[in-house]
Amino acid sequence: MQISPSLLSADFANLEAELKRIANADWAHVDVMDAHFVPNLTLGLPVVEALLRVSPVPIDAHLMIDDPDRWAPGYAEAGCQSVTFHIEAARDPRTLARTLRAAGARAAMALKPGTAFAPYEDLLPELDMVLVMTVEPGFGGQSFMTDQLPKVREVRDAVKRHGGEIWVQVDGGVSGPTIEQCAEAGADVFVAGSAVYGAEDAAAAVEELRALVRGHHH
């Protein structure tokens, strides 16, 4: 059960300090948005490279961008330990996942709320993680979409069938009230933005979330 605080809710003017606030987390979740795939523009590879130099925890790069086939490998090569591309944007996800793994990163596929998982189940052997978005990607601070929990369950069941060490990540509106539902549905990596960075003590917020999911093991 891993906690990956999202820098989308952090102070962009003080990212090194904000990373240090979550030194007890498992990952730092970095949202890369290109204003094309999603209606927002956040940060890109130069900033991620700078974060990699100062982050006390490994970086979980979530690429909400067009043409990940072209751009995602650079994030793996830079040293991101996990790189997530959106299945809706990838032209050749199998090759892309293999390229990410060859570059030393965990390869992950993300699904928007409106995207079904079943058509992509055959990609599981190429993947290390599946991200089920529990909000429409683009902006932080949105409300959790309970209707995505069956998809989390579906992914977890498929992972059990296929075997292998594949993590199931949830991202969007994950907080104290919703994180246990996610764990019960089969998630084991939890992205939390405002629930962590909106707290006075971000490290304590990470521990609180971790305590809430500790009892749910699959």
User: What CATH number corresponds to the domain at position 158?
Assistant: 3.20.20.70
User: Hey, which residues does 82 pair with through a beta bridge?
Assistant: 60, 106
Domain membership of residue 142 (yes or no) is yes
Domain membership of residue 218 (yes or no) is no
Letter for the amino acid at 145?
M
Of 26, 60, 128, 171, the active-site residue reads 171
Any catalytic annotation for residue 66?
A: no
**Residue 108 sits in which domain range?**
2-213
- CB-neighbour burial class of residue 167 (10 A; exposed 0-12, middle 13-18, buried 19+): middle
- 79-105 pLDDT, tens per residue? 999 999 999 999 999 999 999 999 999
Of 31, 34, 128, 188, the active-site residue reads 31
Domain membership of residue 132 (yes or no) is yes
Other C-beta atoms within 10 Å of 34: how many?
Answer: 18
What are the CA-CA distances from residue 173 to residues 17, 18, 48, 56, 82 (Å)? 23, 20, 23, 24, 21
- 113-166 pLDDT, tens per residue? 999 999 999 999 999 999 999 999 887 778 899 999 999 999 999 999 998 899
Domain membership of residue 122 (yes or no) is yes
SS3 103: coil
Q: How many domains, the chain?
A: 1
**What span, in angstroms and rounded, lies between the C-alpha atoms of 213 and 13?**
31
Nearest to 100 by CA among 82, 86, 87: 82
Any catalytic annotation for residue 31?
A: yes
